[in-house]
Amino acid sequence: MATEVSTPVVAAPQIGSRRKPRPIPEGGRVNWGLTIIIAIVSLIVIIPLYFAIAMALKSPAQTGTGTGFNFPWPIHWGNFRAAWDLTNTPLAFSMSLLVTVIAVTGEILVSSLAAWAIVRNWNHWQFRATFVYLLAAMFIPFPVVALPQVKLLASIGLGNPFGVGILHVMFNLAFNVLLFSAFIRSIPVELEESARLDGCSTLQTFRKVVLPLLAPMAATVGIFAFLQSWNDFMMPQLITANPKWQTLPVVQYLFQNQFTTNFNVAFASYLMALLPTLVAFLIAQRWVVSGIMRGSIK
Amino acid sequence: MTATALPSQRAADRSRPSVLGAVKKIFFPVSPTYLFMIIPAIALFTFFIIYPAVVGMFYSFTNYVGYGTWHFVGLANYKAAFSDPTIRDSYGFTLLFAVVACIVTNVVAMALAIALNAKIKWRAGFRTVYFMPLVISGLVISYIFTFIFSNSVPIIATAIHFAPLETSILANQHTAWLGIVFVASWVAIPGALIIFLAGLVSIPTEVYEAASIDGASAWKQFQRMTFPLLFPFFVINTILTFKNFLSVYDITVGLTNGGPGTATTSVSMTIFSGFFNGDYAYQMANAVVFFLITLLFAIFQLGVIRRQGGLL
C-alpha cells in the first residue's frame, strides 16, 4: 500500500491520479446470504421488464387470459411490425435521435469549455461571479419557466426538436459545469503550462491536453445526457408544436390514448424505443460509476 | 509595470498605460479565447432560461391570457392561486409525494449500494440489473406499471384473498399516490445508487479491515464509518432526487393522469394547464410560488452541505 501512496510524481501527475480498479480482495469468503437477498430483491426490477417483453410477444387473445405474467406461447412477432407501421416509428426515431445528438454533443462541449475557462481564471472575479450565476440558476425547474419558454422558442422558430435539444443543453449547463469543474481542479496546471511552452494556443491546449483527460467525465455527462434526452417526455411534448416532429415518448403517449385496446402493440413499441438506450448503456456502463467517482472526490 | 523601461521586451506592448489598455484590462482581463469559451454559453443560458423566467414573473402580475392585450392586476393572481382548491391540493400531493419518495429512494439506494459493494457472487451482473431502470423512460415504465397494478395485481390478490389489493390501488384516491411513489422511486433509485456506489468505492478498504480487527460490528461500522463518509453523497442525492420529484410529470401523467379526480395532480400538471385554459398569467403566479418553494428547499439543503463541509 505504501508504494501506491508515493507514486504521484511531478513529471507524470495524471498517471498518479488515475485510480486503478481495486482488485477484489482474494481469500475473502463470498457472502451468500447477501447474494440471495440481492437476487430476490432484483426481481422487483426484472419482473416488470419480463412483463413488458412478454406483453410485446403476445396476441390480444393471449393477453386476455391470466395475469399477464404467463409465458408468451406461441410467440407473436407481428406486434413489432404493427407498432412500427402505426406510429410512423422511423420519423419519431430520427426526431429523438436529433434531440439526443444535440443534447449529448452540446452538453459535453459547452459545459467542459465553460468549466475549464472558469477554473483556470478563478482569480478573476468575473469568472467566479459567472460560476455563482450558473449555480444559482441550477434550481430553476422546467415547469417554472415552461410557459414563457414555449412562447419564446415558438417566436424564434425553435418550437421543434432543435429547440428541445438546445434546452436540454441549457438546463443541464449548471450541473455539468459543476461536475466538470470539480474534475478539472484535480488536473495539475503544470501539464497545461508545459503544453503552452511547446507553443500551444489556448484552444489547442484544451483540445490536445485537457479534453483527453476529461474523457471519463465526458463519458459520464454524455451517457446521462443521452438517457435523459432520449427518454424525456415533458419538454418535447410542450415545446414541439407540430405533432409530426414529435419524439418517440410523445408519439407513444399519443399512441396510448388512441389505441388503448391493443396493449401488445403498445408494448412492442416501448421495447423498440428502449433498445438504443439499453445498448448504449451496456456499452458505457463501466464509465458511469468511475466518472462520477472521479468527479465527486474533491 | 516597470517593463515600459525596457523597450526591447514584447511585454512592454501589453503593459503600456493607455485608455484602451485600461478598458481592456477591466472588461477582458484574460485571453479572448477564454471569453469565446464562456460568453456564448452564458449568453444563451441567459436568453433561454433567465429571460423567460423574468418575463414569466412579470406576467404573473398581469391578466395576460397568452395573447392579446393585458394590464396590471397586482397580486390578484397570487391571491386567487392561494384560495384555489385545485392548486392547494396539487401542492399537498406533490410535497407529500416528494418527501416520501425522496426518503424511500435514498434509503433503498443506500442499502442497495452497500450490498452491491459487498463481497457477493456475480456482483457486476447484479449491478447491471439494478442499473437497468435508468434506460427506460418514465412514461413507458408508468404504462407498464399501470397494467400491472390494474390488471395483474388484482387477479393475483383475488386468488390469494388479499383484500387491499383486489382492486387497483390507482383507482382509489387514497392509495393512488402510493403507486406513484413506488414507480417514481423505481425509476429514481438507479441514479442515486450510482452516486452512492461511487462514494463507497472511494472509501479505502483498509478502514474496514482496521475496524474489523478492532471488533466493530457491521451495524457499528455503518453507523460510525460508512454513513459519515457517505454523507456528502447522501446530501447531493437528496437535493437531486427531491428537485426532480417536485417537478414530477411523466409518471403522474402515465400512471393516473392526475386522477382519480384530482387526487394525484402534480404542480407541474396544474402549471401546464395554463396553456390550454387561457390561464397564462394565473398559472405563472403558481409557477413563481412553486419556484420559491423549490428555492427554499434548495437553500435549506445547501445550508446543510455547507455545515457538513460536503461536496460543493
Each residue's pLDDT tens digit, B173-207: 888 999 999 999 999 999 899 888 888 877 777 77
* Statement: residue B23 has pLDDT above 60: yes
* Statement: residue A168 has pLDDT above 90: yes
Contact between B249 and A143 using a beta-carbon 8 Å cutoff? yes
* Statement: residue A153 has pLDDT above 60: yes
Residue type, B311: L
Percent residues over pLDDT 70 in chain A? 83
pTM of the model: 0.82
* Statement: residue B312 has pLDDT above 60: no
Q: Say which residue, B235 or B305, is predicted with more confidence.
A: B235
pLDDT one-digit tens code per residue, B116-135: 888 888 888 888 889 888 88
B134 interaction partners in chain A (CB closer than 8 Å)? 227, 281
* Statement: residue B8 has pLDDT above 50: no
Contact between B128 and A234 using a beta-carbon 8 Å cutoff? no
ipTM: 0.79
Those of residues 212-251 in B touching chain A at CB distance below 8 A are 232-233, 236, 243, 246-247, 249-250
Size of interface A-B (CB pairs under 8 A): 255
Q: Which of A68, A166, A290 sits opposite B152 (nearest CB)?
A: A68
Contact between B152 and A69 using a beta-carbon 8 Å cutoff? yes
A88: phi > 0 → left, psi -120 to 50 → alpha, else beta; which? left
pLDDT one-digit tens code per residue, B199-234: 887 777 777 777 778 877 778 888 888 888 888 788
Q: How far apart are CA B222 and CA B237, in angstroms?
A: 18
Q: Say which residue, B245 or A185, is predicted with more confidence.
A: B245
Q: Does B156 reach chain A within 8 Å, measured CB to CB?
A: yes
- pLDDT classification of A223: cutoffs 50, 70, 90: confident
> What was the pLDDT predicted at A39?
92
Mean of the pLDDT values across residues A114-126?
A: 89
Mean of the pLDDT values across residues B239-245?
A: 88
* Long-range contacts of the stretch A185-189 (C-beta < 8 A, 24+): A185/A119, A185/A298, A186/A17, A186/A294, A186/A297, A186/A298, A187/A14, A187/A17, A187/A213, A188/A13, A188/A14, A189/A120
Distances from the Cα of A252 to the Cαs of A76, A92, B135, in angstroms? 21, 9, 16
Q: Which of A206-210, A259-263, B48-52, B187-191 has the lowest mean pLDDT?
A: A259-263
CA angle B174, B176, B178 (to 5 degrees): 95
- pLDDT classification of B294: cutoffs 50, 70, 90: confident
Q: How far apart are CA B233 and CA B312, in angstroms?
A: 11
Q: Does B43 reach chain A within 8 Å, measured CB to CB?
A: no
A182 interaction partners in chain B (CB closer than 8 Å)? 311
Which residues in B31-122 belong to E strands, given as ranges? none
Bridge partners of residue B72, in order along the sequence: B62
Other CB atoms within 10 A of residue B134 CB: 23
- pLDDT classification of A66: cutoffs 50, 70, 90: low
> What was the pLDDT predicted at A11?
34
Backbone angles phi, psi at B67, to 5 degrees: -160, 165
* Statement: residue A298 has pLDDT above 70: no
> What was the pLDDT predicted at B203?
76
B111: phi > 0 → left, psi -120 to 50 → alpha, else beta; which? alpha
In angstroms, what separates the C-alpha of A199 from chain B's closest C-alpha? 15
Mutate one of B249, B253, B280, B284 to test the A interface: name it (highest A CB count within 10 A). Answer: B249
Those of residues 200-219 in B touching chain A at CB distance below 8 A are 201-202, 205-206
pLDDT one-digit tens code per residue, B135-182: 888 888 998 898 888 888 888 888 888 877 778 888 888 889 999 999
Q: Which of A1-5, A198-202, A294-298, B21-25 has the lowest mean pLDDT?
A: A1-5
Q: Hey, CA dihedral for A64, A67, A71, A76, is it positive or negative? A: positive
